[in-house]
Chain A
Amino acid sequence: MSLMLMPVFTEPKLCFAETVETVSSGSSTDAETLSDTELSDFEDYDSLDECTDFDEDDYSKEGPSMALASEKTCTEDYRSVDFSVLQPEEILEAQTISQKHTAEILGISSGEAGVLLKHFKWNVERLVDEFMVNPQQILCKAGLAVDDENTASPVASSSSSSSSSSSSSSIASSSSAQSISSTSTALREQCVEGFVCSICFDDEASERAFGLSCGHLYCKDCYEYYLTEKIVDSGKTSGIRCPGPQCPLTIDDDSLKSIVPRAVWDKYQRLCMSAFVNDQRHLSWCPAPNCENAISCLQERNATFVDPIPTVTCQCSQEFCFRCGELEGHEPAPCTLVKKWNTKRVKDSDTSIWLASNTKECAECKSTIEKDGGCNHMTCKQCEYEFCWVCMGPWDEHGSNWYSCNRYDEEESKEARNEHAKSRATLERYIHYLNRFNNHEQSAKLEVGLYKKIDKKMEHMQLMSKLTWIEVQFLKDAVNTLLEGRKTLVWTYAFAFYLVRNNTSEIFEDNQSDLEVAVEALSGLLEQPITSEWSEIACLRQSVQDKARYVESRRQVVLEDTAMGLMEGRWKFREDVGQDPSEISEPEAEEATSSESSAEASSSTEAPVDAPADAPADAPVDAAVDAPADVPVDAPVDAPADAPVDAPADAPAEEPEAVVAEAVVVETTVETAVEVPVEAPLETEAEEEEQEALTVAAMFEETVVEPVY
């Protein structure tokens, strides 16, 4: 396995890179490598013999070495994410190292570097760049030197009490004449004859005067109150300035430490640490309650689809997505998609299920309607459209003998029902995925309880057979694997919901179902009661281990294939899930010629393939006429071949959708003949989804229609 070196470890970010490196190398004596070793074991799953690998690697997570494990690397390029866990002391250390480095580069003191870094939100690169251009200006901005403009402030001059401040401003301006000063941030005790603190106005002889190079002097008590207020009440970590009126000088950490009480200093350090982690993109707090660790991961937070999903694990065993913070991770679904799915789920889970089973939509205005009386003559409250609840056709055609609803084949009625079926289908499709998503999530929750049962079983097994403690651990491992499998399954359903149905999505579904079958089998196996027969235990052990390995290998297949697909832009999404259009793979024209596999070629030609199959009879002719000359030749060839497969397989629900989509496809091609044909259906999909969103939104404005008697 290779530890990937990130490209950021180069010149400009030198200081950071080293920080991270130093820290991780200090703590990571024992890299956790389970996934890789296990993976390589699973690959030759068929030839496995039962008593293999009870090696340390498998059990490292149980033992004390777990605490030291702070690095995890995947060998596969598609999913590899490097990260390390930083404990509070390490964060502090990283902070100091970064400060020292910056100080060395810029040739200033470490204290000054600290002030500058906080001012620049720990962005070393920007600090160094800007400092090189105009050091004086940067020092002034951060409050390490005095600028001439700042000394003459209108308020100070207008204030009458400024007998002291007017004298001090003259001192300040004289200090600005100095070159880049090295002691300006250090608070120094000064002896002044007849000193009166201008905060408390005390003039007792015992007062000790403190001040920065600006010459504003205050007594220790006032400084202490002032700084304590800034830290404890205002929570400031940077830009704590001299209390003098509009004085721009900043107080550095060492001076601060010498003045404030210990408790305040501790609080200040915590605040600084928090700012240090929050300000930097490659650092993030572990979201687990009471965990004080931070994760360092060189992953772009606003990464695109091609970047791997950074699932990281803290030492406290909390797993989360580094980019979006989703607990337990969400592979294989990308972050943007997860966000969309979660919003959708929260917004309309129970509601939509209820709506699907209890309501219909007005054929005219699409308002959601609940029938609250027996009569089937309905009048929509929203648009006053009168219709028949039974056939959803317009009421006026029903005449006097509406009971039979003999207008079944009438054009309007049919259309109305199509419309209805279409919107129901969208909803049903969503509920299909939602149910499976919820189901696996629920199962995973229940299976956490398996740990307890398994513990008992393991004890029992040790009593019944000659197996040692270590030899029965396979059961616990199997539960771990099972839960991992569930977690992946859960998110495959969110992912699948957004996928456009085509050949690639079918491959995905095949992988998904393989995993699902394996997970269910393992789950069943683990819930089985165990017998006391020695032979049966041996048999059980083998089958549990085999199953667990199979589940893990199927899980890896799903994760890798999905990640690879994202990287290649192989997946097509039904709506905008934040995918960069440039990442979507090029249309079949090139691929068909370059790739040998016909499946791959036709997979990306989803639109032309589906269209002729579902479209009305005259559509394909039109499309062919209007289509630009460069339309791939294999599209019509593929079409009939795929059509019989696709059409019956798709529930009738899919059909009306496709019809509408086709109509728009033809139009778009006419309007913009230059357009790449594959893009057109994508747009229509987006339109579809928009409409779907609208209808769902409309459902919430509940419209109850009273039947007319």
Chain B
Amino acid sequence: MSTPSRRRLMKDFKRLQSDPPGGISGAPCSDNIMLWNAVIFGPADTPFEDGTFKLLLQFDETYPNKPPTVKFVSKMFHPNVYANGELCLDILQNRWSPTYDVGAILTSIQSLLHDPNPNSPANAEAANLYRENRKEYTRRVREIVEFSWES
């Protein structure tokens, strides 16, 4: 069945394949176009460098008028990511625009890894370490980077 949201997701997929942004990849599940698996590579020159973080994107028929639900499947240690993997990102909530596509979402998340916002922490421990003990923060992030290779 073709609906506006499904058509749009197909287009998203085509765009992602023809013009893939660096450091991200994503594809719908073979049997369900509304569910996407994605991988973000940790940006260079950050503690996340070399990490491969898996994500799950769940869309519904309101897309692209409403944002999808995005969560990390891989273990994450980041000031704006909750323990269950859900993220606190403005463009996935109130600042969503229907012009964003999957590529835009994933690149935004990638830049979030680069620039955490410790002022609206989803993980208080990560936020505190980021502010006060950058060394320990880096150590903890490295831990989950290594963990991301195993799983």
Contacts and interface: CB of A to CB of B under 8 A. Distances in A.
Contact of B108 (A158, A216, A229, A246): A158
A200 B97 contact: no
A159 B107 contact: yes
A161 B100 contact: yes
Interface stretch (A219-227, A274-282, A308-316, A626-634): A219-227
A375 B146 CA distance: 76
Contacts of B7: 200
> What's the interface size class on B, roughly?
20 to 34
B64 to A, nearest CB: 6
Interface in A206-232: 216, 221-222, 225-226, 229
B126 to A, nearest CB: 21
Nearest to B65: A229
Contacts of B86: none
A214 to B, nearest CB: 12
B4 A225 contact: yes
Contacts of A164: 99
Contact of A200 (B8, B15, B66, B111): B8
B49 interface: no
Interface string B99-116: 111011001100100000
A244 interface: yes
A162 B90 CA distance: 17
Contact of A155 (B15, B62, B90): B90
A192 interface: no
A201 interface: yes
A162 B4 contact: no
A137 B12 CA distance: 38
Nearest to A245: B97
Given A161-B104, A201-B11, A244 B97 contact: yes
Contact of B100 (A225, A233, A245): A245
B116 to A, nearest CB: 14
Nearest to A229: B65
Interface string B66-102: 1000000000000000000000001100010111110
Residue of A229, A244, A245 with most chain B CB atoms under a 10 A cut-off: A245
A201 B104 CA distance: 14
B11 A243 contact: no
Interface residues of A, number: 24
Nearest to B21: A160
A165 interface: yes
A201 B98 contact: no
B4 A155 contact: no
B59 to A, nearest CB: 14
A159 B4 contact: no
A199 interface: yes
Residue of B8, B15, B97 with most chain A CB atoms under a 10 A cut-off: B97
Contact of B4 (A198, A200, A244, A246): A200
A157 to B, nearest CB: 10
Interface in A226-265: 226, 229, 233, 243-247
Contacts of A221: 4
A229 B90 CA distance: 19
Interface in B7-28: 7-8, 11-12, 15, 21
B91 A225 contact: no
A222 B111 CA distance: 28
Contacts of B101: 161, 201
Nearest to A233: B62
Shortest 10 CB-CB distances between A and B: which pairs? A161-B104, A245-B97, A229-B65, A201-B11, A159-B104, A160-B21, A198-B99, A160-B107, A199-B98, A158-B111
Interface of B: 4, 7-8, 11-12, 15, 21, 62, 64-66, 90-91, 95, 97-101, 103-104, 107-108, 111
17 contacts: A155-B95, A159-B100, A160-B103, A160-B107, A161-B103, A162-B104, A198-B99, A199-B8, A199-B64, A200-B7, A200-B64, A201-B8, A201-B15, A222-B98, A225-B4, A226-B98, A243-B98
